Amino acid sequence: MKLLLIGYGKMGQAIAAQAEARGHQIAGIIDPSRPEARITDFGPGQVDAAIEFTHPDAAFANIQACLRQGLPVVCGSTGWLHHFEEARALTKEVGGSLFYASNYSVGVNLFFHFNEYVAAKMHQFGGYDVQVTEIHHTQKVDQPSGTALTAAQGILRNFPTKTSWRNEPTTAAHELAVLSERTGEVVGTHIVTYSSADDSIELKHEAHRREGFAHGALLAAEWLPGRPGVFGMKDLLGL
């Protein structure tokens, strides 16, 4: 495959290394460190798919540019989802292909799957409160993480007494606390904790390195071309 990398930070570099190891070609790199290259320089004949890992403020514009250029785009940036319905509408309008996940780790997406099952069961038996904690490196911009928000949304869908979330501790019974910590070089840890007067239960995912995210993004880029529409990891993994 010929891949266009949009963003060449730690994730972009990890994706490039894995892509080349899997026999793919990096057709271009779009990054502030390489201002001579633009998304509009590339078209379907030059690129099979674009992979976008940048910044919340840039992601939506990059997605729009890819879709208008006719490029299938895999997006891993978080913090831009207030524009998601606009992205969905544009994808439909141009007959494009968009793949979005808040986290591309196969393990995290199994964590999401189990999270929804556990939330439904815990609510069924009652007596427990629940909160989400996410821990990341100090360079992470958005807070809470997109992964934590996806976990929170899964809880809200399956734990009906929680109707909203708050990015701080809360004593309101209807609010789900989503707590954020930024420390050191932590790649990403997410913990869902159920507590009662009698005991506690935790569901935890801890990422050890970025290569797991890069692998999932490449799987999505390999899967996406030729599939018009908006997709996510549940589609890719059949969950």
Query: Whole-number mean pLDDT of the chain?
Result: 95
Statement: residue 239 has pLDDT above 90: no
Identify whether residues 77 and 156 lie together within a single domain: no
- Structural domain for 114, as ranges: 106-207
CATH of the domain at 149: 3.30.360.10
| Total domains in the fold of the chain | 2
Identify whether residues 202 and 215 lie together within a single domain: no
pLDDT per residue over 164-173, tens digit each?
999 999 999 9
Statement: residue 140 has pLDDT above 90: no
| Model pLDDT, residue 174 | 97
Q: What is the mean pLDDT of residues 127-150?
A: 92
Identify whether residues 202 and 160 lie together within a single domain: yes
Residue by residue, DSSP assigns the chain as -EEEEE--SHHHHHHHHHHHHTT-EEEEEEBTTBTT--GGG--TTT-SEEEE---HHHHHHHHHHHHHTT--EEE---S-GGGHHHHHHHHHHHT-EEEE-S---HHHHHHHHHHHHHHHHHHHH---EEEEEEEE-TT--SSS-HHHHHHHHHHHHH-TT--EEESS----TTEEEEEEEE-TT--EEEEEEEE-SS-EEEEEEEE--THHHHHHHHHHHHH-TT--EEE-HHHHHT-
Identify whether residues 16 and 86 lie together within a single domain: yes
| Model pLDDT, residue 82 | 94
| Model pLDDT, residue 43 | 95
Identify whether residues 48 and 64 lie together within a single domain: yes
Identify whether residues 123 and 46 lie together within a single domain: no
Identify whether residues 215 and 164 lie together within a single domain: no
Statement: residue 102 has pLDDT above 90: no
Q: Which residues are known to be catalytic?
A: 136, 140
Identify whether residues 6 and 96 lie together within a single domain: yes
For residue 169, whether the previous peptide bond is cis, meaning omega lies within 30 degrees of 0, is no
Q: Whole-model pTM? A: 0.79
Q: What is the mean pLDDT of residues 77-99?
A: 96
Residue with tokens 């992205």: 87
Identify whether residues 49 and 77 lie together within a single domain: yes
pLDDT per residue over 14-67, tens digit each?
999 999 999 999 999 999 988 889 999 999 999 999 999 999 999 999 999 999
Identify whether residues 123 and 61 lie together within a single domain: no
CATH of the domain at 221: 3.40.50.720
Q: Up-side HSE of residue 36: CA atoms within 13 Å toward CB?
A: 1
Identify whether residues 145 and 202 lie together within a single domain: yes
| Model pLDDT, residue 87 | 98
Identify whether residues 146 and 216 lie together within a single domain: no
